[in-house]
């Protein structure tokens, strides 16, 4: 059994979306977290994540944390869904690279933009510009980040970029990409199950 430890409207929302894309059975354990942007919430003793964060995914006796690791774990566990790239396939190298890049480069670069660091730090600005260039280059080849097919990479990157759209340059190409992926039925289903921060939510 898969159980997602999830805080509404947080980074675990994209794992909720991925689970819906996979079309597998899972349970949601709604938990509280500390939200640094608002200073609200706190660590939830019901949350199995060792740092009190989300997402965390329990699968039988295994616990996986961190979004990129969970995405890789799930797409390897359910290869028939076609959202990853199996070991030995020609796309595997690009797939694992995108997942690691999302967590290691894209998210820190976007946070520096959101926090205003890019306004006064040339190194931060250069890192952000490199991220934008890489994303736009992939979308020009598109229609998805890995080419012709939608993958977990689009869930990871697209969800973050949709949330922080105002911190990206004006781009019809980006807007069309976000509209294309956010309009997927699985995303609508995940949104319906996401919940409100601080609210008491019962799993469906």
Q: Which tens digits make up the pLDDT trace of 66-112? A: 999 999 999 999 999 999 999 999 999 999 999 999 999 999 999 99
**What is the percentage of the chain residues whose pLDDT exceeds 70?**
96
**CATH: 3.30.365.10, 3.40.30.10, 3.20.20.70, 2.40.30.20. Which one for 2-82+187-194?**
3.40.30.10
Model confidence band, residue 39 (pLDDT cutoffs 50, 70, 90): confident
Report the alpha-carbon distance of residue 10 to residue 35 in Å, rounded: 9
Residue 198's pLDDT is 60
Position 187 pLDDT exceeds 70? yes
Longest dimension (CA), the chain: 48
Main-chain phi, psi angles of 165, to 5 degrees: -55, -35
- The burial class, CB within 10 Å (0-12 / 13-18 / 19+), for 200 is exposed
Name beta bridge partners: 40: 35
Domain ranges in the chain?
Answer: 2-82+187-194, 92-184
> Global pTM?
0.92
Helix-helix angle 152-163:92-101, to 10 degrees: 20
The dotted CATH code for 92-184 is 1.20.1050.10
User: At CA 83, angle to CA 77 and CA 86, rounded to 5?
Assistant: 55
């Amino acid at each position: 059994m898969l159980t997602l430890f999830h805080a509404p409207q947080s980074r675990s929302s994209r794992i909720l979306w991925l689970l819906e894309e996979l079309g597998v059975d899972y349970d949601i354990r709604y938990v509280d977290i500390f939200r640094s942007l608002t200073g609200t919430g706190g660590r939830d003793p019901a949350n199995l994540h060792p740092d009190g964060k989300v997402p965390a995914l329990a699968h039988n006796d295994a616990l996986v944390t961190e979004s990129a690791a969970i995405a890789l774990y799930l797409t390897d566990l359910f290869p028939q869904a076609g959202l990853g790239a199996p070991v030995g396939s020609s796309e595997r190298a690009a797939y694992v690279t995108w997942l690691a890049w999302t967590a290691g480069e894209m998210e820190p670069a976007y946070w520096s933009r959101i926090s205003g660091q890019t306004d006064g730090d040339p190194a931060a600005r250069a890192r952000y510009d490199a991220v934008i260039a890489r994303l736009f280059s992939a979308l020009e080849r598109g229609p998805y980040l890995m080419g012709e097919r939608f993958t977990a990479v689009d869930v990871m990157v697209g969800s973050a970029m949709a949330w922080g759209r105002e911190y990206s340059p004006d781009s019809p190409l980006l807007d069309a990409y976000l509209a294309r992926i956010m309009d997927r039925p699985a995303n609508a289903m995940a949104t319906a199950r996401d919940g409100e921060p601080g609210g008491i939510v019962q799993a469906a």
